[in-house]
Chain A
């Protein structure tokens, strides 16, 4: 079965620190990969997505992610975080299975950025 694993459940950083959140997936077919963010009290928003092409994907708010097919990974990075990046981050895989699309989410990583 498809699954998504996020290695860090809680991350605490100071402002201007660099961020890398790990995401590994388990699925043998064609995948589309997503990172979503959920700010406190708000709904999910798409940060970035990978469908094909350049494996280094740039998203909104200075985030980027790199798809490494051989490692089944899609890690999220940001060179310098801000306090406003405090949120929960979800990695997701869009797998086409049994005739249907499914979005499978990781458990999420709570990021707290201190001023």
Chain B
């Protein structure tokens, strides 16, 4: 199947700093990318949906100024956690789809990125 790669897989940052996580679709063009976070022993929570070339759509309760998403190309989306705090420590997962329509769209997941804010 198609490959979605995230980088870095693990990152530790100091409280108050910003950290960027990249999500790349390696062998297909991703018109839509999704960012999720997963707290320990819980399910994935959709944070935002981004379409290439347009602003991301954030889910209710997700601070758009804190979690900046840039989907500048059809193969790359970035999530920047600004002014990180310990409560932002989580597992962040991106996924990518090939079409905007619900029919025939398959979503592929990245490996995830562990963020620890100390």
Contacts and interface: CB of A to CB of B under 8 A. Distances in A.
Interface of A: 29-32, 34, 36, 43-46, 49, 51-52, 90, 94-96, 98-108
A100 B46 CA distance: 13
A74 to B, nearest CB: 15
Contacts of A43: 93, 109-112
Given A43-B112, A44-B109, A30 B100 contact: no
A106 B43 contact: yes
Contacts of B102: 29-32, 94-96, 101
Nearest to A4: B43
Interface in B74-107: 93, 95, 97, 100-107
Interface residue tally on B, bucketed by range: 20 to 34
Contacts of A108: 42-43
A101 B32 contact: yes
Interface string B1-33: 100000000000000000000000000000010
B110 A102 contact: no
A46 B105 CA distance: 13
Contacts of A44: 44, 93, 109, 112
